[in-house]
Chains A and B, each alone.
Chain A
């Protein structure tokens, strides 16, 4: 009478994921059953179509970019480890983590890594800067057909002008952090409600 979900997910795997992502044991098993319910092909990995099947995600203007973030470079399938690794960015920052040893590797859900996730959404070619074109692409995704090319262009220009401090007409990650003015990073977290955390 063992639990079906964890029969496929071994205890060692759960421990590894726990160490890497910081999720608790019960959160991992819960998310694993979510993963398997999305995996219609039942082959242990998710494809882009599996994500597209979620209506609330399919109507999200940035849906495609968010889905992309789960897939490693050039790949079409993501396994449970990869799934958890991406979701880990959105775990709330707990108080006891703030005082951790500064020389330890930065946890996936740190403030910097959360901002990096958003930065990478813009920076499609991974050259560590957001060009005018890349900014325009994301703007266009968010506004659809409702704003003219001209107006959108001037919005993009103004944004780059304000953010760009080293004069290369692109936005680097540091410039991005300053320009996004996100004081309360809580806005970029997803709070999982489980009784036993």
Chain B
């Protein structure tokens, strides 16, 4: 019993209190330096062993195939180049199908979408069991470091981090409920922000998070909407350690519900019942009301609507871009070397995911605050959403995709196939109609 108490006091003193007030005693920095050096050493060793053997790992970011990337028109013209043009009757040749066959086989070997819903492949192993897919035995030293890593992560770091997170979440619930009891004086808002930020900072320590913020002069202000790319629920912790936001989401039961109800006591968040979420007008109206009240905090929204693996940004849902207020884009990029932040909800439950995060090396990420954007004249919500998405993708070094993140679970719409068919039909019938018009 005494041992547990000592352990607790130590944690509170050395880690929690400094982080609550925004400074650090340097313990985490030392850990990170050692970690970075170790991983560099491991990478060098693996590379050396691979080049001795003569096998080089392919760079996973380039994809598996060398694609032509020409348009349908260009490639079909290439296919048809060597045959005599028919005078009338439509421009079709038996070899046209080769274009579609090749596109099809290419997508079977490597496609742009399905890979976004599983964890990013690492170029070099980072000494975690879970990322050990293709890597073979290299040397005794490496194995020892790997073994040591397991002991450190599971027996020292994990209990430490779990304790911190439990403290952080409890403090969030207690603190916000306490602040909620105060009448609406100015001091209530200040205290509420203080409590929120402190709790998130404790939770961030609970994940050994090293976050680098860039361009903080662009931080979201009241009355606006902050949009960011979504990789996991931890994105919220990352952003909220540096500012206060109003959350948007569905009302949950259980522990999440308790946290939600506590948070909303101290400052307004926008929680929807499941039935209300289907009513787009209701959702838009409530969001509009919130941003129009200049005293309320900026709303935090993830327009992708689902977690993506942080290698790309997928389609932004246009809802938040129809509200007509200032949009503050934020790009979040995790460094996969230190731990995989992506939550694969079909593979891991939330609890199992959090445990995986706590047994990773650390969480290292970069957050860029981009300059505010407004909807321009003659631009509709979809175009605006795409413009913001491109800005975020460009800043974070992510691939900008038009595909919908909902494809994780849902089937693709038939309209896309119909578009392809229409395009091809134009290539078949176009010559026919032009010769008829003579």
Contact = CB atoms under 8 A, between A and B. Distances in A.
B97 interface: yes
B420 A56 contact: no
B114 A90 contact: no
Residue from the set A3, A26, A87, A180 with the largest chain B CB neighbour count within 10 Å? A180
A188 B101 contact: yes
Nearest to A161: B89
B97 A183 contact: no
A113 to B, nearest CB: 13
B31 interface: no
A62 B99 CA distance: 10
Contacts of B89: 154-155, 158
Contacts of B113: 54-56
Contact of B65 (A59, A192, A195): A192
A187 B136 contact: no
Interface of B: 54-59, 62-66, 75, 78-83, 86, 89-90, 92-115, 118, 132-138, 143, 146, 403, 407, 411-412, 416-422, 424-426, 428-429, 432
Given A192-B109, A193-B64, A147 B134 contact: no
A104 interface: no
B55 to A, nearest CB: 6
A77 interface: no
B97 A118 contact: yes
A146 B417 CA distance: 12
Given A5-B133, A142-B424, A144-B418, A182 B95 contact: yes
Nearest to A114: B98
Most chain-A Cβ atoms within 10 A of its Cβ — which of B81, B90, B422?
Answer: B90
Identify the 8 closest CB pairs spanning chains A and B, nearest first. A144-B421, A146-B425, A56-B107, A181-B83, A180-B95, A66-B104, A59-B416, A62-B100
Nearest to B142: A1
A143 B419 CA distance: 10
Interface in A94-135: 117-118, 121-122
A29 B102 contact: no
A60 interface: yes
A154 to B, nearest CB: 6
B2 to A, nearest CB: 41
Contacts of A63: 104, 417
A10 interface: no
A5 B103 CA distance: 27
A72 B138 CA distance: 41
Given A1-B132, A154-B89, A155-B90, A87 B101 contact: no
Contact of A180 (B63, B93, B102, B103): B93
A48 interface: no
Contacts of A2: 136-137
Contacts of A51: 108
A49 B90 CA distance: 35
25 contacts: A1-B136, A30-B58, A31-B109, A37-B115, A54-B107, A54-B108, A55-B403, A56-B112, A60-B104, A90-B105, A117-B101, A118-B95, A143-B428, A144-B418, A147-B429, A155-B90, A155-B428, A163-B94, A176-B94, A180-B95, A181-B93, A181-B95, A183-B82, A191-B65, A195-B57
Given A61-B424, A118-B98, A182-B95, A26 B55 contact: yes
A93 interface: no
Among B65, B82, B109, B421, the one with the most A-chain Cβ atoms within 10 Å of its Cβ is B421
Contact of A118 (B65, B101, B115): B101
B64 A146 contact: no
Nearest to A6: B134
A181 B416 CA distance: 30
A61 B109 contact: no
A22 to B, nearest CB: 15
Contacts of A187: 75, 78-79, 98-99, 102
A58 B65 CA distance: 19
B143 A1 contact: yes
A151 B429 contact: yes
Interface string A171-192: 1000010011111100111111
A1 B137 contact: yes
A118 B95 CA distance: 8
Interface string A132-150: 0000001100111111000
A144 B421 CA distance: 5
Contacts of A5: 133-134
Contact of B105 (A38, A55, A58, A190): A190
B133 A147 contact: no
Contacts of A159: 92-94
A180 B94 contact: yes
Contacts of A26: 55, 58
Contacts of A195: 56-59
B66 A191 contact: yes
Contact of B421 (A4, A30, A143, A151): A143
A61 B134 contact: no
B111 A147 contact: no
Nearest to A53: B114
B65 A3 contact: no
Contacts of A146: 421-422, 425-426, 429
Best-surrounded residue of B97, B146, B432 (most CB of chain A within 10 A): B97
Contacts of B93: 159, 179-181
